[in-house]
Amino acid sequence: MGNFEFKKKFGQNFLTDETLLDDIVEKAGVTSDDIIVEIGAGKGALTQALSKVAKKVYSFEIDKDLFGYLETKFFGTNVEFVFEDVMNYSDDKLNKLIGGNFKLVANLPYYVTSPIITRFLKNKNMQSLTVMVQEEVADRIIASPKNKSYGVLSIICQIYGTPSKVLRVGREMFMPVPNVDSAVVRIDCEKNYDIINYDKFIKFIKKAFSMRRKKLSTNLETHGIAKTEVEKILSQNDFSTTIRAEELTINDFIKLYQIFYDKIS
């Protein structure tokens, strides 16, 4: 790439193995009918693998120093680059650009993994999300109750869709080599749960997990709900008064959320 320098501030770690890239596209379920949103084009390795299969690829890249390289490499193809920070690109603007349903595929910088996932899961036009993430984050996304990895991210991902870890990727597959291994997670978007006011529900979940090793009643008390009242409600609804958030299923959380709905500020 000539004089191009890797930029730590953008979390740039590039994949180059074509077989692995094709595997990612296959695991994402990309077909010739699909419009793809890619986040983080980098040198365009995954972009190229996607463009060979998809109908159209809209690729977001924050590093404007890559503009000339990418525009030249993909001139005349089905790839359109958007050199903007996708987190500052509104859903209305994105949906207008694409004009319909899309699948998101990305090799995400580790530092923006959770914000990007949680932001895009809310987009009703997204059919699926397939992302390369740090392996421990992948384990959090797919985790079930009573597992040390189970938490807020697990619940957010699972209320919006069905996640699965579809590929493990060793650190040696990247340039420069990171300090951790990665994994590819796919979330097929479907309405698994009927929840009134998702944002308020997520706020309740965050309160419940605010101190992982503390009881649910203690965590909710620190956020303005009397501990005695929480324990009374738990007992009346067949929950242990000493239960912790990591022991609750999503259905348990929804049940308690509906009970505490008017008390959540």
The pLDDT tens digits for 214-240 are 999 999 987 788 889 899 999 999 999
Average pLDDT for 53-66: 95
Q: Which domains does the chain have, with CATH numbers?
A: 8-189 (3.40.50.150), 198-263 (1.10.8.100)
Average pLDDT for 201-224: 90
Q: What is the pLDDT of residue 262?
A: 84
Mean pLDDT across the chain, nearest whole number?
89
What stretches of 52-197 adopt beta strand conformation (E)? 56-60, 79-82, 102-107, 126-134, 161-169, 174-175, 182-189
Q: Residue 39: which residues within 8 A CB-CB, separation 6 or more?
A: 59, 60, 86, 104, 106, 108, 116
H-type helices in the chain, by residue range? 18-27, 45-51, 67-73, 91-98, 113-121, 135-142, 152-160, 198-208, 216-221, 227-236, 250-260
| Complete edge-to-edge strand list for the sheet that includes strand 35-39 | 79-82, 56-60, 35-39, 102-107, 126-134, 182-189, 161-169
How many CB atoms are closer than 10 A to CB 87?
A: 12
pLDDT of residue 23 exceeding 50, the answer is yes
pLDDT of residue 190 exceeding 80, the answer is yes
Global pTM? 0.87
